[in-house]
Amino acid sequence: MRIPLIYSIRNLLTRKLTAFLTILGIALVVFVFSAVLMLAYGVKRTLVATGYEENVIMLRKGSDNELPSNFPRDIANLVRTLPQIATGQNGKPIASNEVVTIINLLKIGTNDMGNVTVRGVSPEAMELRPAVQLTEGRMFAFGSREVIVGSSINSRFRGAKLGQTLKIGGDEWRIAGIFEADGSGFESEVWGDAEQVMQTLNRLSTFSSMTVRLNHKGDFDALQDAMDRDRRFQQIRIEREKEYYERQSQLMATFIRILGLVVTIIFSAGAMIGAMITMYASVANRTVEIGTLRALGFKRRSVLATFLLESIFLSLVGGLVGLLIASGLQFFTISTINFGTVAELAFSFSLSLDIALWALAFSVIMGVIGGFLPAARAARLDIVTALRAS
Partner 1 sequence: MSHQTIELKNVSKTYMRDSLEIPVLSNISLTVPEGEFLALMGPSGSGKTTLLNLIAGIDRPDKKGSNRNPYVNQIIVHGTDLGTLGESALAAWRSRHMGFIFQFYNLLPVLTAYENVELPLLLTKLSRKEKREHVEAALNLVGLADRMQHYPKQLSGGQEQRVAIARAVVSDPTIIVADEPTGDLDKVSAAEIMTLLERLKSEYKKTIVMVTHDPRAAEKAHKVMHLEKGELSS
6 in contact with partner 1 (CB under 8 A)? yes
**8 A C-beta contact, residue 315 and residue 370:** yes
**8 A C-beta contact, residue 128 and residue 94:** yes
Instruction: Using CB under 8 A, pick the residue from 131, 174, 254, 298 that binds partner 1.
Output: 298
Window of 87-95, 271-279, 292-300, 349-357 that interacts with partner 1 by CB under 8 A: 292-300
In terms of CB distance, is 91 or 297 closer to partner 1?
A: 297
- Closest approach, Cβ 355 to partner 1, in A, equals 35
Nearest to 61 by CA among 193, 321, 299, 238: 238
299 in contact with partner 1 (CB under 8 A)? yes
In terms of CB distance, is 7 or 20 closer to partner 1?
A: 7
Nearest to 300 by CA among 389, 388, 384, 383: 383
Window of 131-139, 172-180, 252-260, 289-297 that interacts with partner 1 by CB under 8 A: 289-297
In terms of CB distance, is 6 or 353 closer to partner 1?
A: 6
294 in contact with partner 1 (CB under 8 A)? yes
**C-alpha–C-alpha distance, residues 214 and 227, integer Å:** 14
3 in contact with partner 1 (CB under 8 A)? yes
Q: Write out the binding residues for partner 1, residues 307-326 only, by CB under 8 A.
A: none
**C-alpha–C-alpha distance, residues 374 and 31, integer Å:** 25
- DSSP, collapsed to helix, strand or coil, labels residue 234 as coil
289 in contact with partner 1 (CB under 8 A)? yes
- Closest approach, Cβ 181 to partner 1, in A, equals 57
Determine phi and psi for 286, rounding to 5 degrees.
Answer: -115, 25
Window of 5-13, 162-170, 351-359, 369-377 that interacts with partner 1 by CB under 8 A: 5-13
How big is the site for partner 1, counted in residues (CB under 8 A)? 26
295 in contact with partner 1 (CB under 8 A)? yes
- Closest approach, Cβ 277 to partner 1, in A, equals 21
18 in contact with partner 1 (CB under 8 A)? no
Nearest to 372 by CA among 286, 289, 283, 285: 283
Nearest to 189 by CA among 64, 80, 290, 103: 103
10 in contact with partner 1 (CB under 8 A)? yes
**C-alpha–C-alpha distance, residues 143 and 77, integer Å:** 19
2 in contact with partner 1 (CB under 8 A)? yes
**C-alpha–C-alpha distance, residues 20 and 314, integer Å:** 9
Task: Please list, in sequence order, all residues whose beta carbon lies within 8 angstroms of the beta carbon of residue 129, skipping any fewer than 6 positions away.
Answer: 52, 55, 181, 186
**C-alpha–C-alpha distance, residues 120 and 133, integer Å:** 17
Instruction: Using CB under 8 A, pick the residue from 293, 305, 323, 369 that binds partner 1.
Output: 293
Instruction: Using CB under 8 A, pick the residue from 164, 165, 250, 292 that binds partner 1.
Output: 292
**8 A C-beta contact, residue 198 and residue 125:** no
383 in contact with partner 1 (CB under 8 A)? yes
Q: Write out the binding residues for partner 1, residues 98-117 only, by CB under 8 A.
A: none
Binding site for partner 1 (CB under 8 A): 1-4, 6-7, 10-11, 13-14, 288-289, 291-300, 383-384, 387, 390
